[in-house]
Structure 1
Amino acid sequence: MSARFARLLRDQNTILAAVILAGVIILTISSSGGFLSPISLETFFQFLAIPIVIGLAQMAALAVGQMNLAVGAIGGFAACSAAVLIADFGVPAWLGGIIAILIGLAAGVLNGLIVVLTQINGFIVTLATMTILSGAQYAIVGTRTITSASWPEIAAIGSARPLGVPLIFWIAVVIAGLLAIGYRQTLIARNMLASGGNPLAATLSGISNNRSLVTAHGLSGLLCGVAAFLVLASLPGANKSIGEDWLLSSFAAPIIGGVSLTGGTVAVLGTVLAATIVRLVDSARAQFQLEPSWVNFVIGAVVLGTVALDRVRTRRPATRRSRPTPPDAPPTAAARAIDPGAPA
């Protein structure tokens, strides 16, 4: 029982849940209970949906040992493109929302194809994509803001409150649940994790690493497109600033949630919990009237500390395995199995 309790305390999700609970208690006390008011909670969950989705988008790329630096650029370009099509060209709002999602998917697949065809690291490819799409976003929307009055059907999704909780948050939760099931049950997801964990072993097993890379980047782009749709639903308008502050949050959620930078792992629940922590930090900034730069400082420090701790944890078992065996030490069980005559 004590061993099980000790393992529970070391579990990443348990630690993250404890941090969330502590954060909620601190914010509730400091606000004299105002943080738990219905309006405050609605606002909290309203602005939690996007960090969850973009965190999952980055997780999809990290799972195959890649990075997607264009998360914000893809989402911003997709949202602004849909807004321009709806407002300036009379495209129906529902079709514009679908186009935003498809633009994200196409951008992700294109990233994957470029990585596969050029054999250039995804870091460089998505860095270039980020620059190109950011320029394209400004080119199509300029300095204006297109108000959400142009797409009332999509805005209605953002204002819906089933069970007193914003609908866009429920959408983010459903997406997380589908990803959790997909990564656990589907063959294509297992292939992506195999390619991310050990590409050579995956190739020897008959798995196409190229297909895994394109699929992972495509999934990442698709989720960026979904985030763009949620932005159109929740914000009063679309402009060139959409997506500018997504990059750090997209990395913070999966890394703090337990996803390895080297690939081969996913942590859907951990990513959702870590995104909640990032949102709590932002709420604390508003509560204590701190400078916005402090949020980035705290999140960046936590990400750096999480990566350093993960490196320490992964190196420790390797150090134990590589430690030489003393000459007078008894043979291991494996050695006795090979040579039954070896002394015990």
Structure 2
Amino acid sequence: MTTTTARPAGGGVRLRAVSRRPEFTLAVLALAGFVALAVATGGNLLSSGTLGAFFRFLAVPIVIGLAQMVVLAIGQMNLSVGTLTGLCAMVAAWLMLEAGLPAPLAILGALVVGLAAGLLNGLLVVFTRINGFIVTLATMTIFEGLRYGVNGPDTFQGYSAGLREFGSASLLGLPVVFLVALAVAGLVAVFFARAVAGRQLLATGGSPFAARLSGVSNDRSVVVAHGLSGLLAGVAAVLTVAASGSVNASIGDDLLLPSFAAPIIGGVALTGGVVSVVGTCLAAFLIRLVDVMQAQFDINRRWIDLIVGAVVLGAVLLGTVRQRLLRRTS
């Protein structure tokens, strides 16, 4: 009798614990929003073409949200993530069209540029002791100028047919670029859960003083976080080049707000020490639903930005209230 009653109780406790997690709430909202939008569009959202486009253009918001999340993990921000993505995309296209390099080398070049730029951000923060917000605000302007300098206002198009086919390919009914984004999310989750460097990033974000006493180099964590952020921006750039078929100097201008919205709505703490890969992906899904709603019903884009910004502000306020309540109860 004791055994049979204990198991349901334990299962009930676990179920209640899961239901209280922010990821569970986001999953419910994502499912409800998807169903509601499918009904509102008369089932058009569920057509193969529309559904494929939905997930194809969800790939970049997921990766760009993760690029911001890894810097938020140490309690900093990366304002240059959008323009850096655009710069890497322009570099990849330039390497294929102007330098004549094959697509694999152009992809590698974009990733190297992203990683190098991210490391530069981290090193500048460490050596100048200036907040990452200010440093990346400055480098954002620099990357914007470099992005424009690659090809001016002209558009790069007609590059590698193989890369464009990769961008439009599907596997098991899902776009390959979306599956790549999910694979990247899985690697980031493993990095924070299993890798020593990932745990050190969280330690630095949670309490730099305690991390230093434990032998963790906070400076190294800053460089690693910004370097990884830059690398992920390079990945987002490659997915952009593959999925869009053309790039120009405006690529990345609309990525800054989504880069913050996805992790913050997903439950990542602005003060550092807390990450949520699943939450970031689900929040990116919700933001993508809002974009589809805007396109389907021809809503003014400014209203959409207002809604997303308000949701981000609400998430920040709720996070602050939650932290205060936890401090009072501890």
- What is the distance in 2 between the residues matched to 1:7 and 1:28? 30
State the TM-score, normalizing by the size of structure 1: 0.91
Q: Name the residue aligned to 2:5.
A: none
**Are 2:18 and 1:14 equivalent residues in the alignment?**
no
1:167 Cα shift? 0.4
- What is the distance in 1 between the residues matched to 2:312 and 2:240? 25
- What is the distance in 2 between the residues matched to 1:55 and 1:18? 20
Q: How many residues align?
A: 320
**Are 2:67 and 1:57 equivalent residues in the alignment?**
yes
Structure 1: segments with no counterpart, 5+ residues: 322-344
Residue 201 of structure 2 is aligned with which of 183, 192, 197? 192
User: Residues 159-178 of structure 1 correspond to what in structure 2 (within 5 A)?
Assistant: 159-178=168-187
SS in 1 for 2:273: coil
**Are 2:303 and 1:294 equivalent residues in the alignment?**
yes
Structure 1 contact 191–207 (Cα < 8 Å) conserved: yes
**Are 2:36 and 1:26 equivalent residues in the alignment?**
yes
- What is the distance in 1 between the residues matched to 2:328 and 2:73? 25
User: Residues 274-285 of structure 1 correspond to what in structure 2 (within 5 A)?
Assistant: 274-285=283-294
- What is the distance in 2 between the residues matched to 1:5 and 1:168? 33
1:36 Cα shift? 0.9
SS in 2 for 1:207: coil
1:160 Cα shift? 1.0
Structure 1 contact 97–154 (Cα < 8 Å) conserved: no
SS in 1 for 2:272: coil
Over the residues paired in the alignment, what is the CA RMSD in angstroms?
Answer: 1.2
- What is the distance in 1 between the residues matched to 2:257 and 2:156? 26
**Are 2:262 and 1:262 equivalent residues in the alignment?**
no
**Are 2:151 and 1:141 equivalent residues in the alignment?**
yes
1:182 Cα shift? 1.5
State the TM-score, normalizing by the size of structure 2: 0.94
- What is the distance in 2 between the residues matched to 1:187 and 1:301? 36
1:92 Cα shift? 1.9
SS in 2 for 1:55: helix
Q: Name the residue aligned to 1:324.
A: none
1:224 Cα shift? 0.1
Q: Name the residue aligned to 2:51.
A: 41
Q: Name the residue aligned to 1:336.
A: none
Deviations 1:73-127 (A, max 9, x none): 1110111122122212212222111101110000000000000011110000000
Q: Name the residue aligned to 1:205.
A: 214
Q: Name the residue aligned to 1:98.
A: 108
Paired AA for residue 221 in structure 2: S
1:9 Cα shift? 3.1
- What is the distance in 1 between the residues matched to 2:329 and 2:240? 48
1:293 Cα shift? 1.3
**Are 2:161 and 1:152 equivalent residues in the alignment?**
yes
1:8 Cα shift? 3.3
Structure 1 contact 52–172 (Cα < 8 Å) conserved: yes
Q: Name the residue aligned to 2:81.
A: 71
Structure 1 contact 54–71 (Cα < 8 Å) conserved: yes
Q: Name the residue aligned to 1:309.
A: 318
Moved more, 95-104 or 286-295: 286-295
1:4 Cα shift? 4.5
User: Residues 125-136 of structure 1 correspond to what in structure 2 (within 5 A)?
Assistant: 125-136=135-146
